[in-house]
Structure 1
Amino acid sequence: MHIAELPDLRARRDADGPCTADETSVLDNAAFARRVRRAAAALRARGIGRGDVVALLLPNTVDFVVVLFAAWRLGAAVTPVNPALTDDEVRYQLGYAGAAVVVTAEPSTLARTLTVAELGATAEDTAAPQTDADALALLIYTSGSTGRPKGVMLDHANLAAMAGMMIESARLSEADHSLLILPLFHVNGILAGVLSPLLAGGRVTVAGRFRAETFFDLVEAARPTCFSAVPAIYSMLAELPDHVRPDTSSVRFAACGAAPMPPALIERFERRYGIPILEGYGLSEGTCASTTNPLDGPRRPGTVGRPMPGQQVAVMDPQGRIVPAGETGEVVVRGPNVMRGYLGRPEETARAVVDGWLHTGDVGRFDEDGYLVLVDRIKDMIIRGGENIYPKEVETVLGDHPDVLEAAVVGAADPRLGEVPVAFVALRPGAATDADGLLDHCRARLARFKVPTDIVFVDRLPRNPVGKTDKPALRARTTAVTVAG
């Protein structure tokens, strides 16, 4: 079965079965398929067909999911656009992707727009869905932390492979109900939150903007079996007032990705809410996920689990040789989930994918039982007077302090040593520690050269659109920090 055929297939198998819902609508399988066919007809009337690109500038709603499948039905690809981008950023992505039409929630000043209201104003498309596995399905734009965003090209074979891996790893079935709280402009929201559960025969509730204060009200009302989030969300939920004691009995598991999650936070969340967290790891270039902690343990906090079925994950040295367990190097991935490449950037594609191996730019090592431990990003490594410092190691130590909510470490320029580590720290409510206390905590657990030269207290760490700590923003702030060598 091709993914584009899924709405029709679900409608034939169980017309009245639940499919998708959001804050304003609840659609069974038949209603969802009708909505998809009407949206496909509206797109076709605009000249959209095989090989075109449809941009979705939409919030998290059922409409997004409908148009996603409508575009695929016509053989078109989709490029999701973050609604929080500036007009210049939006126009850059639309131009680079070659978007033939932009679907918006409301009328827009952008060229070639189509509103969701217009999508439902036509008769249903009657043509059979396009079913080319090699057709481009998604153009996912990276966060652009190292420059202008790049368009990651994922075809339908990539998506089908990734969804199959997720279904097998999490044992998803028709009994599963995904609560989507991550943004749909990112591959995690699309693959883990929507596509995998729907392909498994389950259903999806699309939440609107995440609010920690109301999240568990939604859990109790919707009764989901799973959801996926990022460490910042789990941190906010773990810090809710003590009187918040929700019924979470419906939830089989919660997944975590985008950034490493401190083991202390995992323990705090699981102990409080009784929901096992499956921490994993992956990139947009690998169609979302490459490793995960197993559903049926042992789960190992401090690791991102084992390779997912159907993928090879290894650690390479700078000469391209795979190193044994325990040795550190660059994490590389190979399998049917690896992207087709970066749109219009053959040189960067050639650097990223070598002999079928996707070079992630992450430093890691495998432990003796095959669990991957991420050390840090290669580009984030701090070199202090010739000594290599991986910020994640320092962040983990800071995160183990009972008063620390979250921490991030970046390099600050130093005229004598080249770089020195500076820590940005958000404290838990009511915390009594100060910078000296945190530095003493670090000195007891880290070599002297790894101890931050300064602690900068913040209310919250800045995040990029996919929930990762915005380290470029923190590096920019270090110019205002007086650093003692």
Structure 2
Amino acid sequence: MNFGTPATHFASLPDQRAALDPHGYAVSDGRRSLTNDQLLHRVRAAARHLQDLGTGPGDVVALKLTNRVEFVLLLFAAWRLGATVTPVNPSMTDVEVARQLRDSGARLLVVEDGAAVEADDVAVLAVGALYEDAVGSDRAPLVDSSALALLIYTSGTTGVPKGVMLDHANIAAMADMGRRSLEVGPADRCLLILPLFHVNGIVVSVLMPLLVGASVVIADRFDPRTFFEVVERERPTFFSAVPTIYSMLAALPDEVRPDTSFLRFGVCGAAPASAELLTRFEARYGFPLVEGYGLSEGTCGSTINPVSGPRRAGTVGLPFPGQQLRIVDADGIEVAPGTDGEVVVRGPNVMRGYLGRPEETADVIIDGWLHTGDVGRLDAEGYLTLVGRSKDMIIRGGENIYPKEIEDVLAGDPSVLEAAVIGVPDERWGEVVVAYVQPRPGAAVDPAALKALCARSLTGYKRPTAFVVVEAIPKNAVGKIDKPSLRAAHAAHAALSAGPADPAGPAGPAHPADPADPADPADPADPAAGDVPSGATVTT
């Protein structure tokens, strides 16, 4: 059987799998399991349902769903009709959902059964009502590599989420790059634990394995206490997760010794992982973690440590086959190995651009090179080490958070003159959000009001774990908020507060919620309490 050539178009992949191996296992989610033939049947039925609702080429279908088989069915069904899919984080507020629907121009929103949704001018379909049997003739899949496949929304420095346009050529190239680099084939079985509203979950954990004839198991919400029970039951050969998940698993009691003999590797990405964590995890559980790096604008991945070749802990590996990577200075000139600079990448995986934002697209794609804004260096063998990230992005449990979006929300409170949001280190999440606020003259900040405002306007993982009221927010010489000094002052006070007996601060218990699932609200415990400059008022 010849699965998954680079020329494969995902609109026709269910047809190809059914023709080559009709009774082979395709995908399951704990509620249902589909063979390749059953997958094609259900995709055809879903496509007919979308068509009956008026969906056609160029239309956008929004999926506000948890991880489930129907998400995969609707991906292929929409692509079969020439439509585009925009995944929507199920934990978003109504304000955030409305903004994405409006910006994407979505014509249809698919939601969980019983979900209360306000979607003006957008048809709404409850996922439980989705056709299971096709009625009438089936149309052949529309195959157009230049057609838009995914609109992935990611925040930017403006604080307003932007639609990353990925066409079918982008996702086909990325899936093939992953296949080649991770050496995945028909005998593999992927366990999906990351959310499907992320490009990582879609491309690495669904499209890539299905492309090569492998199978996919969609797990329930991640819980470190039961994760290895799922692994032993489903016997996957690989999975992809974020450092916070691996940290939780590494912190399990010593008596937890699962059978992992069938696991070939775990992919670690979305946020930096320490070399110590990677080494300790592999020593305990007996399978390697291959750390990689990428971003939505690059259709998920740009570098990865080899599965078979030398893995260098502390680096994020080598470029995926088919991609070029350079380190450049402020003038865009390539620098020598060992020199820090901005990471830029080029390849068929680079996005088409930001939807409706040609100027912002031109700012990040220059002469075909995607300027990531991340700072790194290459060693003599081409392994990339990330040394920082430009601007002020916060990464909490693998989720990217851009302070400007939160600052804009806080500035909407009439008592707030100015707000500055920073990320502070946290043992469980990597970083958590802390907001510094300066009151308007003569006004008093009401922390409860700020907390309620954030709850109405922001997804749980974006909400500050602490509000710090200060007389004045520090500025640099040109009058801009001086976040480096703010972070430094916060860290210095944290060190003093921790004391010599506990320099790292207390470690909390393992949290059963999914750190990669923003449906999990900000941790009710306050890891930032007391970690502020002297004289500030902390409220949570």
TM-score (norm 1): 0.84
3-state secondary structure, aligned to 2:152: strand
**CA displacement at 1:182 relative to structure 2:** 0.2
Counterparts of 1:262 and 1:99, CA distance in 2: 40
Task: Name the structure, 1 or 2, with higher relative contact order (CA <8 Å, separation 6+).
Answer: 2
Is structure 2 residue 362 aligned with structure 1 residue 350? yes
Is structure 2 residue 130 aligned with structure 1 residue 123? no
**CA displacement at 1:114 relative to structure 2:** 1.2
Is structure 2 residue 164 aligned with structure 1 residue 113? no
Is structure 2 residue 303 aligned with structure 1 residue 274? no
Is structure 2 residue 226 aligned with structure 1 residue 214? yes
After the TM superposition, which residues 85-484 of structure 1 pair with which residues of structure 2 at under 5 Å, given as runs?
85-107=92-114, 108-109=116-117, 110=119, 111-124=122-135, 126-143=138-155, 147-380=159-392, 408=431, 418-421=485-488, 422-423=490-491, 434-437=498-501, 481-483=532-534
Q: Give, as a single letter, the amino acid of the residue that structure 2 aligns with 1:41.
A: R
Q: Give, as a single letter, the amino acid of the residue that structure 1 aligns with 2:500.
A: D
Q: Give, as a single letter, the amino acid of the residue that structure 1 aligns with 2:275.
A: P
Counterparts of 2:430 and 2:75, CA distance in 1: 37
Counterparts of 1:381 and 1:27, CA distance in 2: 40
Counterpart in 1 of 2:33?
A: 26
3-state secondary structure, aligned to 1:213: coil
**CA displacement at 1:424 relative to structure 2:** 10
**Alpha carbons 2:245, 2:515 under 8 Å: kept:** no
Give identity over the alignment, percent: 54
3-state secondary structure, aligned to 2:225: helix
**CA displacement at 1:214 relative to structure 2:** 0.8
Q: 5+ residue gaps in structure 1? A: 383-397, 427-432, 442-454
Is structure 2 residue 72 aligned with structure 1 residue 65? yes
**CA displacement at 1:103 relative to structure 2:** 1.1
**CA displacement at 1:419 relative to structure 2:** 3.9
**Alpha carbons 1:380, 1:410 under 8 Å: kept:** no
**Alpha carbons 1:143, 1:465 under 8 Å: kept:** no
Counterparts of 1:295 and 1:199, CA distance in 2: 19
How many pairs does the alignment contain? 444
Q: 5+ residue gaps in structure 2? A: 1-7, 395-424, 437-472, 477-481, 536-540
Counterpart in 2 of 1:430?
A: none
C-alpha spacing 1:122/1:34, structure 2 compared with 1 (3 Å): closer
**CA displacement at 1:271 relative to structure 2:** 0.9
| 1:78-98: CA deviation from partner (whole Å, max 9, x where unpaired) | 000000101111111111101
**CA displacement at 1:118 relative to structure 2:** 2.4
Which of 50, 55, 60 is matched with 1:48 structurally? 55
Counterparts of 1:202 and 1:409, CA distance in 2: 37
Counterparts of 1:25 and 1:256, CA distance in 2: 28
**CA displacement at 1:181 relative to structure 2:** 0.1
Counterpart in 2 of 1:448?
A: none
**CA displacement at 1:407 relative to structure 2:** 5.2
**Alpha carbons 1:231, 1:256 under 8 Å: kept:** yes
Counterparts of 1:146 and 1:424, CA distance in 2: 29
| 1:267-315: CA deviation from partner (whole Å, max 9, x where unpaired) | 1111110110010000000000000001113111110001110000111
**Alpha carbons 2:325, 2:346 under 8 Å: kept:** yes
3-state secondary structure, aligned to 2:202: helix
C-alpha spacing 1:188/1:68, structure 2 compared with 1 (3 Å): same
**CA displacement at 1:123 relative to structure 2:** 2.1
C-alpha spacing 1:47/1:158, structure 2 compared with 1 (3 Å): same
| 1:136-161: CA deviation from partner (whole Å, max 9, x where unpaired) | 00000114675011110000000000
Which of 43, 66, 90 is matched with 1:36 structurally? 43
**Alpha carbons 1:407, 1:424 under 8 Å: kept:** no
3-state secondary structure, aligned to 2:129: helix
3-state secondary structure, aligned to 2:244: helix
3-state secondary structure, aligned to 1:43: helix
Counterpart in 2 of 1:394?
A: none
